[in-house]
Amino acid sequence: MKALITGITGFVGSHLAEHLLGEGIEVTGTMRSHSSLRHIRHLLPDMCLYECELMDAQAVERMMADIRPDLIFHLAAQSFVPLSWESPAETMTNNIVGQVHLLEAVRKLGLASKVLIACSSEEYGHVEEDEVPVKETNPLRPISPYAVSKIAQDYLGYQYFKTYGQHIIRTRTFNHHGPRRGEQFVSSNFAKQIAEIEKGLKPPVLYVGNVDAKRDFTDVRDVVRAYRMAMDNCEAGEIYNIASGQCHEIREVIRILLSYSTVDITIEEDKTRLRPSDVKVLVGDYSKFYEQTGWKPEIPFEQTMKDLLNYWRNELA
Ligand SMILES: C[C@H]1O[C@H](OP(=O)(O)OP(=O)(O)OC[C@H]2O[C@@H](n3cnc4c(=O)[nH]c(N)nc43)[C@H](O)[C@@H]2O)[C@@H](O)[C@@H](O)C1=O
């Protein structure tokens, strides 16, 4: 069986590649010319890399004609919410047009590939306190350009399923973290700051943004397992939440990370980290996905935090 992972050099892509290779699946990944290989270098002997800009429709079609994958995990995206306010047009173009090119290539080549589209809990946006844990049927009230781009990806998936009968599975994945998480995202950013302080590279001050926000975090290793199971068990055209069902305030993320550190650290708000609008609470109901696949998250929140801090300690060693 052949799998294609778009955005393989990223955080989720590298973990998914490891997981699929472990199952004996042939893996090819797309990357951009300037992408760093540091997360996947250890996998290179066992998989193929394809330099392909998803903005280039012809390049995408050529690549798909070469690979003809059975499974396509579409992960490539501009995924940092704050950047979507700075560069809304770029976020829209990357996330939406890249996917159009991919699905068009599947259509034009008449491929029977199963496609998983990594959509996001950000699509729910503003959620009322009495709507949590949110189900897939919750209204979508996006409050960032990123969220709007993900809704477009989500509904494009539905449209290509309905119009052309493509085997498209959409997942709305809630926050996920773990080793290799990009340093701009909350838990990884805090873990890196702590590791730098421990090493004496920074004064003992942890800079934070909105600590009142509440999020549902799943370990990335559980998420990639879910993506693989989705391909075998989920129904085409359907949408599934992937979440832990547990709510954590951002101040709790700080408390847990600090409890693993031996140094005294003070916390300071950095106003540049606050957003024009921030989703207050996101907690997911993953019962639809559980019923379809039997998947449950296995790695405890505290374990992920420990692994993340140790990841940064090793990176700085
Ligand atoms: C599901 C969804 O998950 C992610 O989006 P996100 O929720 O925006 O993730 P984040 O880690 O940037 O922020 C989480 C929360 O934490 C607050 N927060 C406080 N202080 C800092 C801080 O210092 N840095 C950051 N980044 N956030 C902070 C921040 O204001 C927000 O309320 C992406 O993977 C996205 O692609 C996706 O799809």
Extents of the domains making up the chain: 2-176+218-242, 181-215+246-281+299-315
Q: What percent of the chain has pLDDT over 70?
A: 100
Per CATH, the homologous superfamily of domain 181-215+246-281+299-315 is UDP-galactose 4-epimerase, domain 1 (3.90.25.10)
Judge contact between 250 and 257, C-beta under 8 A. Answer: no
- Give the span between the Cα atoms of 34 and 17, in whole angstroms: 20
Asked if residue 111 has pLDDT above 90, the reply is: yes
Quick one: tokens of 123? 């699509």
Tens of pLDDT, residues 53-63: 999 999 999 99
Q: What's the pLDDT score for residue 262?
A: 86
CA of 70 to the centre of ligand 1 (A): 33
Strand partners, 72: 4, 115
Q: Which residues line ligand 1 (CB under 6 A)?
A: 79, 81, 120-122, 174-175, 184-186, 189, 208-211, 213, 215, 250, 273, 275, 278
Q: What's the pLDDT score for residue 129?
A: 87
Please state the separation of Cα 230 from the chain's center in Å: 15
Which amino acid is residue 8, in one-letter code? I
Tens of pLDDT, residues 183-242: 999 999 999 999 999 999 999 999 999 999 999 999 999 999 999 999 999 999 999 999
Residue 224, classed as helix, strand or coil, is: helix
What are the E-state strand segments in the chain? 2-6, 26-31, 48-51, 71-74, 114-120, 167-173, 176-177, 205-208, 214-215, 218-219, 239-242, 248-249, 266-269
Tens of pLDDT, residues 68-88: 999 999 999 999 999 999 999
Nearest atom (ligand 1) to Cα of 121: 1
Whether the model clears a pTM of 0.90, i.e. scores above it, the answer is yes
Tens of pLDDT, residues 238-288: 999 999 999 999 999 999 999 999 899 999 999 999 999 999 999 999 999
CA of 277 to the centre of ligand 1 (A): 12
Tens of pLDDT, residues 122-165: 999 999 989 999 999 999 999 999 999 999 999 999 999 999 99
Ligand 1 pocket, mutate which of 215, 241, 251, 282 (most atoms under 8 A from CB): 215
Under 8 Å CB-to-CB from 50, ≥6 apart: which residues? Answer: 28, 29, 30, 31, 63, 66, 67
Q: What's the pLDDT score for residue 94?
A: 97
Judge contact between 25 and 5, C-beta under 8 A. Answer: no
Which class in CATH covers the domain with range 2-176+218-242?
alpha beta
CA of 82 to the centre of ligand 1 (A): 8
**How much is the mean pLDDT over the chain?**
97
The pair phi, psi for residue 66, each rounded to 5°, is: -70, -45
Residue 296: other Cβ atoms inside 10 A: 13
Under 8 Å CB-to-CB from 265, ≥6 apart: which residues? Answer: 194, 197, 204, 205, 206, 258
